[in-house]
Amino acid sequence: MSQSPTQQSEIKYGERHIAAGQLVTFPNPREGRRYHINITLPEFTCKCPFSGYPDFATIYINYVPNELVVELKALKLYINGFRDRYISHEESVNQILDDFVAACDPLEVTVKGDFSPRGNVHTVIEVGHRK
């Protein structure tokens, strides 16, 4: 069954949520206690700014929260917002770190992008921030 041109150009609900993808936070329920939160996002995609080919990675975020904690669904939608962006491995991981720090001001955070091999090259980018 084919769709009409109107149906094809209609923005899907998931695309609307991804487009609005902002990092949402909530108060740390154990502020004052030092603990680690480890998040794995295995379906990261972006596009190579040179070839236009898709790049795939697993993003690891490990942080010690301060006053705020990042809400996981919002983080997922934020990460999905990279899928159509032309951005290098290095810039994408650094951008995630910058946005994460701006959103929740953690005591410390490490963001690691483990990019799938392409053309016999495997890249891992790791950046960190500490107060």
* Annotation says 48 is catalytic: yes
Residue 38 and residue 73 in contact, taking contact as beta carbons nearer than 8 Å:
no
Q: Which residue in 48, 98, 105, 114 is the catalytic one?
A: 48
CATH assignment, 5-130: 3.30.1130.10
Return the ∠ at Cα 9 (arms to 87 and 96), rounded to 5°: 25
What average pLDDT does the segment 23-44 reach? 96
What phi, psi does 84 have (nearest 5°)? -110, 10
Q: Which residue in 46, 55, 104, 114 is the catalytic one?
A: 55
Domain ranges, ordered by start, for the chain: 5-130
What pTM was computed for the model? 0.87
Nearest to 103 by CA among 21, 32, 29: 21
* Annotation says 55 is catalytic: yes
Question: If DSSP codes are grouped into helix, strand and coil, which group holds residue 51?
Answer: coil
Is the pLDDT score of 85 beyond 60? yes
What average pLDDT does the segment 57-75 reach? 97
Give the containing element (helix H, strand E) for 23.
none
Compute and round to an integer the Cα radius of gyration of the chain.
17
When comparing pLDDT for 31 and 104, which is higher? Answer: 104
